[in-house]
Amino acid sequence: MASPSMPLRSFINGKRVRPSPQHLYSLYDAATGTVREKVQSATPGQIRDGVIAASESQERWARDYSPSDRSKVLLRAARILERRAGEVALAETGDTGRTVRETRHEAAGAADCLEYQAGAALTVGGQHVDLSGNRSWGYTRREPIGTTVGIGAWNYPLQSAVWKSAPALAFGNSMVFKPSELTPTTALILADAYSEAGLPDGVFNVILGDGSAGASLVSHEKVDKVSFTGSVETGSKVYTAAAESLKRVTLELGGKSPLIIFDDANIHDAVSTAMVANWLSSGQVCSNGTRVFVHESVLEKFLESLVKRTSRLKIGDPTEEATDLGPMISRGHMEKVMKYIQIGKEEDQADLLCGGEPILQETGGYYLSPAIFSNCNDNMRIVQDEIFGMVMSVLSFRDEGEVVQRANNTAYGLAAGVFTNDLKRAHRVVADLNVATTWINNYNLAPVVLPWGGFKKSGQGSENGLVGVESWTRLKAVYVEMGAIDCPYP
Ligand code: NAD
């Protein structure tokens, strides 16, 4: 991809900031290792400008635009993103290295979220409560929180930006969004879409930069709420910094999720699911089911099919239609994943059945072959740590009680999958799993109509679904007296 003359720049108060030869850094093409774009990080002054723009525009957005007006802006933005779906896919593939076969659905997914929140803006309100016959009653007003900050991770950049901004804006908040420094492009496309859809200047701003920009946003006194997606380590810093000024916080963090395959499962479907739960986005998905527990009686059959099908996958240029798996996001991340593969090879009795090698090195890209370890035990580091790459650990089990206890034996509580044809067992097991999202006979689907969050170290609060509205609104109670005042004093 040819380098454009202009660097990518922050979007503040309805326009890109002026280009400057300072504060530039490079984005690398994960498929070739070459520089493909320059990005201009926001200066401290621009970060302040972004927050001020959001703060000054918020009241008007909440007061002068009715829920119906705000809803229409979101619906128009949805149509604009759909129109730009091809460009969104290439931008997302360019930034992340994810295949176009995946990223071509990104704009449609964003449009779904915008439509859902546009509907929620019109329908979700407060509650009426009778207090004393018809003499007094109360009601609740659902109000915007105010100026919000969204901070995104690099694996699903547009999804992060939309999942945060659509409900924030729908309910009358403003937002400053900071995408990951590795994946800034589609947040800027979203900003353009909102503007073209009629969003007033300042209501949605994009600040480009690294963790220091994120930290400045989190600590800014005019920010009322922070919604963060990223690692547990950074999430903990964000939580601590936000606590200093008692800001509201939502955290969507990492995981090490179990996928449990019982002996009655259809093995072909179970293998398909294990592949989706591990190889999607080259393994760079927070909810991936990387601890695959397989009942001992079907283990051999499962592994044979899994290795055969995984070895057939076409790894290569993510912009090519036939490619199944693209590169890792960056050289640094590829090296981290390779370290874990080495640890896995050295640990205990585990067997590396296939993959785990750097490949296609002649391209300069960050390519790894997907690794399957069998014979793993619960205490191995590759089984306990979030690796965020294509490293699947297969563990065998004998009975239901045992596997549930072992599945829950982790600091994380993001997601889990259960594969069985026994309905009662499926529901019993998901009820016992200490995680926020579960799938029965499928994996890694995240429709915006269902809440998304994390238990234990995987997060705080929920976004999406109707309950996600709680994350973007505050409730005011109103007491209304219609009768005489009952006064205890003469
Ligand atoms: P990360 O924590 O390194 O960075 C996330 C974001 O935080 C980036 O935008 C980064 O610039 C910013 N940041 C860094 N330091 C900061 C600070 N001190 N204050 C404020 N912001 C700061 O995570 P990553 O490597 O970009 O993403 C991978 C992680 O994200 C994985 O752990 C993955 O599981 C998780 N993730 C979770 C979800 C979810 O929904 N639960 C979704 C996607 C990714």
**Residuewise pLDDT in 10s, the chain (490 residues):** 434 569 999 999 999 999 999 999 999 999 999 999 999 999 999 999 999 999 999 999 999 999 999 999 999 999 999 999 999 999 999 999 999 999 999 999 999 999 999 999 999 999 999 998 778 999 999 999 999 999 999 999 999 999 999 999 999 999 999 999 999 999 999 999 999 999 999 999 999 999 999 999 999 999 999 999 999 999 999 999 999 999 999 999 999 999 999 999 999 999 999 999 999 999 999 999 999 999 999 999 999 999 999 999 999 999 999 999 999 999 999 999 999 999 999 987 899 999 999 999 999 999 999 999 999 999 999 999 999 999 999 999 999 999 999 999 999 999 999 999 999 999 999 999 999 999 999 999 999 999 999 999 999 999 999 999 999 999 999 999 998 988 999 9
Q: Cα(51)–Cα(56) distance, rounded to whole angstroms?
A: 9
Catalytic-role residue among 37, 92, 115, 463: 463
Per the annotation, the verdict on 164 as an active-site residue is yes
Q: Would you state the pLDDT for residue 486?
A: 86
Find the 415 Cα to ligand 1 centroid distance in Å.
17
Are 78 and 110 contacting, i.e. CB atoms less than 8 angstroms apart? yes
Cα-flanking dihedrals φ and ψ of residue 171, to 5°?
-100, 15
Q: Would you state the pLDDT for residue 86?
A: 97
Show Cβ contacts of residue 324 under 8 Å, excluding neighbours closer than 6 positions: 99, 101, 279, 313, 314, 315
Q: Would you state the pLDDT for residue 373?
A: 98
Per the annotation, the verdict on 354 as an active-site residue is no
Q: Would you state the pLDDT for residue 347?
A: 86
Show Cβ contacts of residue 375 under 8 Å, excluding neighbours closer than 6 positions: 349, 350, 351, 394
CA 190-166-216 angle, 5° bins: 75
Q: Would you state the pLDDT for residue 132?
A: 86
Q: Is the C-beta atom of 154 inside 6 A of ligand 1?
A: yes
Per the annotation, the verdict on 37 as an active-site residue is no
Burial class of residue 18 (count of CB atoms within 10 Å of its CB; 0-12, 13-18, 19+): exposed
Q: Which residues pair with 374 in a beta bridge?
A: 351
The dihedral region occupied by 366, where left means phi > 0, alpha psi between -120 and 50, and beta the remainder, is: beta
Question: Could you tell me the two tokens for 335?
Answer: 């090296």
Ligand 1 pocket check: which of 159, 180, 208, 240 to mutate, most ligand atoms within 8 Å of Cβ? Answer: 180
Q: Would you state the pLDDT for residue 79?
A: 98
The residue whose CA has the least distance to atom 16 of ligand 1 is 211
Q: Would you state the pLDDT for residue 435?
A: 98
Q: Would you state the pLDDT for residue 349?
A: 84
Q: Would you state the pLDDT for residue 328?
A: 98
Q: Is the C-beta atom of 238 inside 6 A of ligand 1?
A: yes
Are 376 and 350 contacting, i.e. CB atoms less than 8 angstroms apart? yes
Find the 151 Cα to ligand 1 centroid distance in Å.
8
Nearest of 185, 159, 182, 446 to residue 328 by alpha carbon: 182
Give per-residue burial for 254-284: e unless 16+ CB within 10 Å, then b: bbbbbbbbbeebebeebbbbbbbbbbbbbbb
Measured in whole angstroms, the distance separating CA 400 from the mean position of its chain's CA atoms is 31
Q: Cα(187)–Cα(152) distance, rounded to whole angstroms?
A: 10
Show Cβ contacts of residue 397 under 8 Å, excluding neighbours closer than 6 positions: 260, 293, 294, 295, 296, 403, 406
Q: Would you state the pLDDT for residue 134?
A: 78
Q: Would you state the pLDDT for residue 348?
A: 74
Strands 367-368 and 358-359 come out as antiparallel
Are 205 and 195 contacting, i.e. CB atoms less than 8 angstroms apart? no
Ligand 1 pocket check: which of 47, 96, 98, 155 to mutate, most ligand atoms within 8 Å of Cβ? Answer: 155
Are 391 and 58 contacting, i.e. CB atoms less than 8 angstroms apart? no
Q: Is the C-beta atom of 161 inside 6 A of ligand 1?
A: no
Find the 152 Cα to ligand 1 centroid distance in Å.
6
Q: Cα(181)–Cα(178) distance, rounded to whole angstroms?
A: 8
Q: Is the C-beta atom of 150 inside 6 A of ligand 1?
A: no
Find the 9 Cα to ligand 1 centroid distance in Å.
21
Question: Could you tell me the two tokens for 393?
Answer: 């650990």
Find the 253 Cα to ligand 1 centroid distance in Å.
7
Whole-number Cα distances in Å, 136 to 127, 133, 189: 15, 7, 50
Q: Which atom of ligand 1 is nearest to the CA of 153?
A: 26
User: In 376-422, which ranges are continuous DSSP H helix?
Assistant: 381-384, 400-407
Question: Could you tell me the two tokens for 11?
Answer: 């979007």
Q: Is the C-beta atom of 454 inside 6 A of ligand 1?
A: yes
Nearest of 475, 449, 453 to residue 120 by alpha carbon: 449
Q: Would you state the pLDDT for residue 21?
A: 92
Nearest of 190, 171, 59 to residue 121 by alpha carbon: 171
Q: Would you state the pLDDT for residue 340?
A: 97
Q: Would you state the pLDDT for residue 313?
A: 98
Per the annotation, the verdict on 463 as an active-site residue is yes
Catalytic-role residue among 286, 376, 386, 457: 286
**Which pairs from 425-430 meet CB under 8 Å and 24+ separation?**
425/262, 425/400, 428/400, 429/260, 429/400, 429/404
Catalytic-role residue among 92, 106, 181, 252: 252
Q: Which atom of ligand 1 is nearest to the CA of 459?
A: 41
Q: Would you state the pLDDT for residue 3?
A: 45
